[in-house]
Amino acid sequence: MSAQSVLEIRGLTVNYGAIQALKDVTITVHAGEVVTLIGANGAGKSTTLRAVSRLLNPRSGSIQYQGKDIARLRADEVVRAGIAHVPEGRRVLARLTVEDNLRLGAFVRTDNEAIEADLQAQFKRFPRLLERRKQLAGTLSGGEQQMLAIARALMSRPQLLLLDEPSLGLAPIIVREIFSIIRDLNQSGVTILLVEQNATLALKNSARGYVLEAGQITLEGPAGALIEDERVRRAYLG
Amino acid sequence: MLAQQLANGLAIGSVYAIFALGYTLIFSILGIINFAHGAIFTLGAYFTYTLMGLQFGFNGLLAQQKLPFGLPFWVALLVGAVIAGLFGVFLERIIFRPLRARGADPLLTLVASLGLAVAIVNIIQYLVGAETYSYPSGAALPGAPASVNFGTTEAPVIIRTAQLIIIAVAVLILIVLTFFINRTKTGRALRAVSEDATTSSLLGINTNQLIRLTFFLSGFVGGVAGTLVGLNVGITGPYLGISFGLKGLAVIVLGGLGSIPGAVVGGLLIGIVEALVPASLVSYRDALAFAILFIVLLVRPQGLLGRPLIQKV
Ligand SMILES: Nc1ncnc2c1ncn2[C@@H]1O[C@H](COP(=O)(O)OP(=O)(O)O)[C@@H](O)[C@H]1O
Ligand SMILES: [Mg+2]
């Protein structure tokens, strides 16, 4: 176990009833890295993230965050520990305002002045959220909702960010914007575990990658090597 | 005459409204109707009676018993409502949480809460019998007249002091609750959980804790409502809350499930319409609430202030 690893998933096995969604998955994320998890629809990518943020109970395996076992924590305790999960499909709270969504992102914090400062920082980073501050989140466009979901996650000041298909269903120009934000975040010190079907763009922005097929890791390595890998090219890069 | 009836309707309507709020709070968080709410309402009335150090009657296990001390009415009301709230939390822990953990069908949960209501009513009867109990007259406002005439001598609009107290307390509860839900951090988290519990937990909200809080608030408000009705018409027996339970259901469906303003509007509307029923038709009064409900639902299936039933998932 490397000293600077932020997240260590080892031997993770998850079942939904009789269906085995993950089998013996091992993934390491080092401090300051962007690590991408690619795989076809239904491979188990979201399940992996959901296991880390404790939305589900793994059947076996261990999940260590900064050297501590988090496999027994509740989902809200995982957030307090410093992990933020931007779920698939954004899941903004549609009936609450943009501002309420953002403030809820800081629910675990009590440093009110710093929260106000962070709120302004998010509005600076995402000017469109500032314009729509009092609007119900459900009225935002898909791209704006994705930005809100990311900004909301950042409001907890996470050390590890889990992003589940942030580019899904968005126009190419918005996708580029999202990835530029991911690069910025990473440069400001946030470690990121990224799940993507848009494998090229994701790998280009990552240090390392894992390929998940039918619940098992079949390939892993530096992102540059995965982009060149014949099997990856055929399956995911078209 | 009309003003008099409106005043009566306003008083009973405020009780309907805060009674229905108890349903609404839990429905908006868990999507279930807690039928035990009517029984908690009844318990609240009895708790206040007990805490005032008043003696029980001739029937039941606790016949002729009383506490060695007696609290003033308002303190007893508050403490009684807190106990009613804690009782709600207890029911959540032993019934609703296990059912939720097993992913039980809402219908099953509903039947379980109905069973709870029946059990609680029977336990009350076992303990203190089915007699009518009342708080001493003037308990709430010692020295105040029993009623106040807001009209003239020729056209009197007489409102009983108990009714005024009911309206005042109901307004106070509404204001505090609305402020809490719309303006506080915990209230914001409640709104989040009511929309999407899974996402809320990803934001660091302990959803079980908020569900407990909701059951507490619901039980507290129910306990207060029970005591207010006891103040107005007496504690007419362990079944006191049953008719409110059904009426409250009409109120929330009429107002729109899960909508707090809906519970208020629905409660006041049903209270006022009932009060306008002419004396000759008084035995059909209860049917009227459901007749209104039926007509409104034909036109607006989501209730007066409810969101449309078809929502994007
Ligand atoms: N709640 C669930 N109940 C049952 N099966 C599920 C559930 N969620 C996901 N699955 C199954 O688990 C597998 C992995 O799903 P998922 O992790 O969502 O894949 P991905 O995110 O890679 O598309 C799929 O076969 C999917 O059908
Ligand atoms: Mg997925």
Residue A84: give the domain boundaries: 5-91+158-237
Flag residues of chain B having pLDDT under 50: 311-313
Give residue B287's pLDDT: 85
Among candidate residues B13, B36, B21, B54, the one with its CA nearest the CA of residue B235:
B54
Say which of B188, B205, B312 has its CB closest to residue A76: B205
Residue A132, domain member (yes or no): no
Give residue B133's pLDDT: 95
Residue in A with minimal Cα distance to B189: A104
Residue A162, domain member (yes or no): yes
Give residue B308's pLDDT: 67
> In angstroms, rounded to a whole number, what is the distance separating the alpha carbons of residues B310 and B313?
9
CB contact under 8 A, B203 and A80: no
CB-based contact B218:B26 (threshold 8 Å): yes
Give residue A238's pLDDT: 62
Residue A50, domain member (yes or no): yes
> In angstroms, rounded to a whole number, what is the distance separating the alpha carbons of residues B225 and B170?
8
Residue A133, domain member (yes or no): no
Give residue B309's pLDDT: 55
Candidate from A13, A19, A91 with most ligand 1 atoms within 8 A of CB, to mutate: A19
Q: What residues are paired with A234 via a beta bridge?
A: none
Q: Counting Cβ atoms within 10 Å, is residue B153 exposed (0-12), middle (13-18) or buried (19+)? A: exposed
Give just the sign of the alpha carbon dihedral A59, A60, A66, A68: positive
Atom of ligand 1 nearest to the CA of A88: 21
Query: Are β-strands A68-69 and A60-65 bridged in parallel, bridged antiparallel, or unpaired?
Result: antiparallel
**3-state SS string for chain B:** CHHHHHHHHHHHHHHHHHHHHHHHHHHHHHCCCCCHHHHHHHHHHHHHHHHCCCCCCCCCCCCCCCCCCCCCHHHHHHHHHHHHHHHHHHHHHHHHHHHHHCCCCHHHHHHHHHHHHHHHHHHHHHHHCCCCECCCCCCCCCCCCCEEECCCCCCCCEEEHHHHHHHHHHHHHHHHHHHHHHHCHHHHHHHHHHHCHHHHHHCCCCHHHHHHHHHHHHHHHHHHHHHHHHHHHCECCCCHHHHHHHHHHHHHHHHCCCCHHHHHHHHHHHHHHHHCCCHHHHHHHHHHHHHHHHHHHHHCCCCCCCCCCCCCC
CA distances from B292 to A125, B251, B280, B303 (A): 52, 10, 19, 11
Residue B106 backbone dihedrals phi, psi, to 5 degrees: -55, -30
Atom of ligand 1 nearest to the CA of A43: 22
> In angstroms, rounded to a whole number, what is the distance separating the alpha carbons of residues B32 and B37?
12
Query: Are β-strands A5-16 and A60-65 bridged in parallel, bridged antiparallel, or unpaired?
Result: antiparallel
Q: Which tokens sit at A53? A: 């943020």
CB-based contact A147:A128 (threshold 8 Å): yes
Alpha helices in A110-188 (DSSP H): 112-125, 127-131, 142-154, 172-187
Among candidate residues A178, A171, A175, the one with its CA nearest the CA of residue A150:
A178
**pLDDT surpasses 90 at A237:** no
CB-based contact A11:A24 (threshold 8 Å): yes
CB contact under 8 A, A53 and B202: yes
CA distances from B164 to A141, B38, B74, B135, B167 (A): 50, 23, 15, 16, 5
Q: What residues are paired with A193 via a beta bridge?
A: A35, A162
The nearest CA of chain A is from the CA of B206 a distance in Å of 6
Residue A181, domain member (yes or no): yes
The alpha carbon of A44 and the centre of ligand 1 are apart by a number of angstroms equal to 6
Beta carbons within 10 angstroms of residue A211's beta carbon: 23
**pLDDT surpasses 50 at A99:** yes
Q: How confident is the model at residue A26 (pLDDT cuts 50, 70, 90)?
A: very high
**Chain B neighbours among A 158-197 (CB < 8 Å)?**
none
> In angstroms, rounded to a whole number, what is the distance separating the alpha carbons of residues B220 and B89?
10
> In angstroms, rounded to a whole number, what is the distance separating the alpha carbons of residues B4 and B115?
39
Query: Are β-strands A208-213 and A83-86 bridged in parallel, bridged antiparallel, or unpaired?
Result: unpaired
Which residue is it, tokens 């078209």? A238
A94 touches chain B (CB under 8 A): yes
> In angstroms, rounded to a whole number, what is the distance separating the alpha carbons of residues A53 and A46?
11
Give residue B311's pLDDT: 44
Beta carbons within 10 angstroms of residue A150's beta carbon: 24
> In angstroms, rounded to a whole number, what is the distance separating the alpha carbons of residues B270 and B285?
10
Atom of ligand 1 nearest to the CA of A40: 22
CA distances from A205 to A161, A193, B133, B300 (A): 15, 11, 74, 52
Give residue B44's pLDDT: 97
Average model confidence (pLDDT) across chain A? 94
Maximum CA extent, chain B: 65
Instruction: Read off the CATH number of the domain in which A64 is found.
Output: 3.40.50.300
CB-based contact B135:B230 (threshold 8 Å): yes
Residue A123, domain member (yes or no): no
> In angstroms, rounded to a whole number, what is the distance separating the alpha carbons of residues A238 and B11?
71
**Mutation target vs A (from B203, B211, B312; most A CBs, 10 A cutoff):** B203
The alpha carbon of A83 and the centre of ligand 1 are apart by a number of angstroms equal to 22
How many structural domains does chain A have?
1
Among candidate residues B169, B274, B260, the one with its CA nearest the CA of residue B223:
B169
B280/A213: higher pLDDT: A213
A51 CB-near residues (< 8 Å, 6+ apart): A9, A12, A14, A22, A58, A63
Residue A97, domain member (yes or no): no
CB contact under 8 A, B204 and A156: yes
**Region A96-116 average pLDDT:** 97
Q: How confident is the model at residue A143 (pLDDT cuts 50, 70, 90)?
A: very high
Length of chain A: 238
CB-based contact A102:A122 (threshold 8 Å): yes
Give residue A83's pLDDT: 98
Query: Are β-strands A83-86 and A160-164 bridged in parallel, bridged antiparallel, or unpaired?
Result: parallel
CA atoms within 13 A on the CB side of A206: 30
**Chain B neighbours among A 128-147 (CB < 8 Å)?**
138
**Region A139-151 average pLDDT:** 95
Give residue B312's pLDDT: 38
Residue A100, domain member (yes or no): no
DSSP state of A139: G
